[in-house]
Structure 1
Amino acid sequence: MRRGSALLTVIMLAGCSTGEAPAPRTTAGAPSAGDTTQTITVGDKVRTFQLHVPASYDPGRPMPAVVALHHKPGSGATMRELTGLDAKADKEGFIVAYPEGVGGQFNAFGCCGVQDDIGFVKAVAGQLVERWKADPDRVFLAGVSNGADLSFRAAVEAPGVFAAIGAVSGGFTGGRTEAADYRPPAPVSVVTLIGAADPQATTFRTGLDTWRARASCAKPFVPPPPSANAPVTVPPPGSVSAPPPSPAAPLDPAVQRTTTPCKGGSDVDTYVIDGAGHVWFGATAGELKDPAPKIDATDVLWAFFAVHPRHG
């Protein structure tokens, strides 16, 4: 199904003794670690997002943040279950926000609704920086299916807000993308994963070709395989002389990776997974779980985000 399901298990709040995690609370107090539901007004609409802040949170030390967008029909809760980003955030030290779409969907390209979802994701990112003291140069946007489409839209229409986007089983296609001048006005890096057996795989790959052309990217190439003994080096900001670091372990033979340096120091990293469909790769639960995992999208996205802070 297009615009599939989303994410993670809600973490139990401290002090609970039952075996079932309670619903996140809505708070207006001082920022602190834990799981909450936050509200924010966009125009005349009150919108909500779920928030996970790891135990290592210190407002005096700015953390990266990831805004994670669910599929259609989905929710912040399904995105949490699908991706496992809470656990990744606890391990790596970043904040995760899960915006709630209207009617289980986001206003991306060819669909869905008329609500101001660009204003919404910008407002969420702004609140993470202003209230939760996230590092403004390390705010990232991730999405699956319908949420992935909105990630591409935000990369164009919310310049300077997100350092990089991660699009899983979604793409730069339809609606406003057909205008030749619809392009990112500021550098933003992209990592995307596509199942070769996804019914929309060809559309997604064509959309990537369009994105690369409009972002003034070089020709895609296959990066060298990782070496067990070579240290990982991170290219300096603005450099296009070296590809993003390869994954720490060799890829499954079914996974084809290419990378593309682009104007302004951004990169486009693409993973095409043979035999895979419309899923969050590596997910073990949820509507878009991966029945035959060959790569973990959560690991891939975070590894890419970690070395792609915002330039300028």
Structure 2
Amino acid sequence: MRYGLAVLILLLAPLLHHPGLAADFPDKGDPASATRRSLETRDGPRDYLVQPLATPGRHPVVILLHGGTQDARRIWKQTSLATIGKAEGFIFVAPEGIDGHWNDGRGSTIAGDPPSTADDIGFLKAVIADVVARDGGDPAHVYMAGVSNGGFMTMHFACNAAEVLAAGANLISDLPAETAKTCTPRKALPWLSLNGTTDTIVPFGGQPPGTKKRGVVQPELLSADATFAFFADRAGCAKAVTARRLPDLDTRDGSWPELRERTGCAGGTASLHYVMHDSGHITPGLKVGPIIGRALGGTSMDVDTGSLLWDFFKTVR
């Protein structure tokens, strides 16, 4: 979702030292070590960052879509996936949206901003094809996740091009109600959702019709629980949900994590919903200033989001 001001403030916020905890998580990525590539598309040249592997053979591909007002370099610095990719042997990819946004199918959410006409589905499919052809990416093991606007784009992509993915994940984002009416993925995808219960930008309980922000009527959103259920249902998972509280690694941040799981999904896998209690519109494990943290609903340093994603994706073989 195009939450330009809130996310822009987040990007400018000073990072704080979290003694005794950050060292427990993998290092965040260094975009200076990434390879930037450009593809010709119907929208003109489009870029993506990639971390190829030197070893021969086919390798899993993990794609992470940045949030609104962000870019590929910024999300590379905010995730541990590049570090984990080197250690675990997968190709990490961060595509670049146009003007910091993805055309995720919801139209315009900002006054005076016309709906995007970018062919982001076509662009992302082209990125996948390029990585498969040039870097030995395994077309049978391509995984996509997205943060905020990138999470909406991941869901939009899954609804329209699920056949090129092995699994997907939406982070701090909910499924638009209109999308849910028409979404018919052509393939069952094991799914991971992650949401904060005190998210001030994408409410955990969903967004009712007629909601206005900055004078603009916003799309109706399903709740976080309904979003997870939607994709778990389409992955063929069993209806029963098991839930367990996870360790509260940092009692100072006021949040605690819960894992909700549905098993028996496509290929004998599970679908997972990480519910970050008293945490907001910030991916867990990302350190931000206290003022911004409070404005966006709170932060959590109890888990590392990149680790959660790879621990899930690598089970889908």
TM-score, L = length of structure 2: 0.73
Cα distance, 1:76 vs structure 2 = 0.1
Q: Is the 2:190–2:316 contact (alpha carbons within 8 Å) kept by the matching residues of 1?
A: yes
Q: Write out per-residue CA displacement over residues 30-67 of structure 1, whole angstroms, 9 at most, x where no aligned residue.
A: xxxxx21111122352211111224xx22x32111111
In 2: Cα distance, 1:111 partner to 1:9 partner: 32
Alignment pair present for 1:10 and 2:30: yes
Q: Over aligned residue pairs, what C-alpha RMSD do you find? A: 2.8
Counterpart selection for 1:66 from 62, 65, 90: 62
Asked whether the equivalents of residues 10 and 81 of structure 1 are also in contact (C-alpha less than 8 Å), the reply is: yes
1:73 counterpart SS class: coil
Counterpart in 2 of 1:184?
A: 185
Distance in 2 (alpha carbons) for counterparts of 1:190 and 1:292: 22
Aligned residue type for 2:256:
A
Of 109, 123, 136, which aligns to 1:120?
123
User: 1:9 touches 1:77 (CA, 8 Å); kept in 2?
Assistant: no
> In the alignment, what sits opposite 1:208?
228
Q: What is the distance in 1 between the residues matched to 2:271 and 2:157?
A: 16
Match runs of 1:106-145 below 5 Å: 106-111=102-107, 113-145=116-148
- Rounded Cα–Cα distance in structure 2 between residues aligned with 1:268 and 1:300: 12
Instruction: Answer yes or no: is 1:98 the counterpart of 2:112.
Output: no
Alignment of 1:1-312 (within 5 A): 2=3, 4=7, 9-12=29-32, 35-54=34-53, 57-58=54-55, 60-111=56-107, 113-179=116-182, 182-199=183-200, 200-203=203-206, 204-222=224-242, 251-252=247-248, 254-261=256-263, 264-265=266-267, 267-284=270-287, 291-309=299-317
Deviation at 1:8, TM superposition (A): 5.5
The offset of 1:264, in angstroms, is 3.4
| Residue identity opposite 2:89 in structure 1 | G
5+ residue gaps, structure 1: 14-34, 226-249
How many correspondences in the alignment?
A: 259
Q: SS where residue 97 of structure 2 aligns? A: coil
Contact 2:48 2:93 in 1 (8 A): yes
* Aligned mates of 1:151, 1:193 — CA distance in 2: 13
Q: In structure 2, do the counterparts of structure 1 residues 174 and 38 end up closer, same or farther at CA, with 3 Å as the change threshold?
A: farther
How far off is 1:208 after superposition?
2.5
- More divergent stretch after superposition (81-90 vs 140-149): 81-90
Conserved in 1, the CA contact under 8 Å of 2:265 and 2:271?
A: no
Higher helix share: 2
- Give 1:207's aligned amino acid: T
Q: Secondary structure at the match of 2:155?
A: helix
Q: TM-score, normalised by structure 1?
A: 0.74
- CA distance 1:81–1:174, shift in 2 (3 Å): farther
Task: Report deviation, 1:2.
Answer: 4.2
Structure 2: unaligned runs, 5 residues or longer: 12-26, 109-115, 207-223, 249-254
Question: In the alignment, what sits opposite 1:27?
Answer: none
Tell me the percent identity. 25
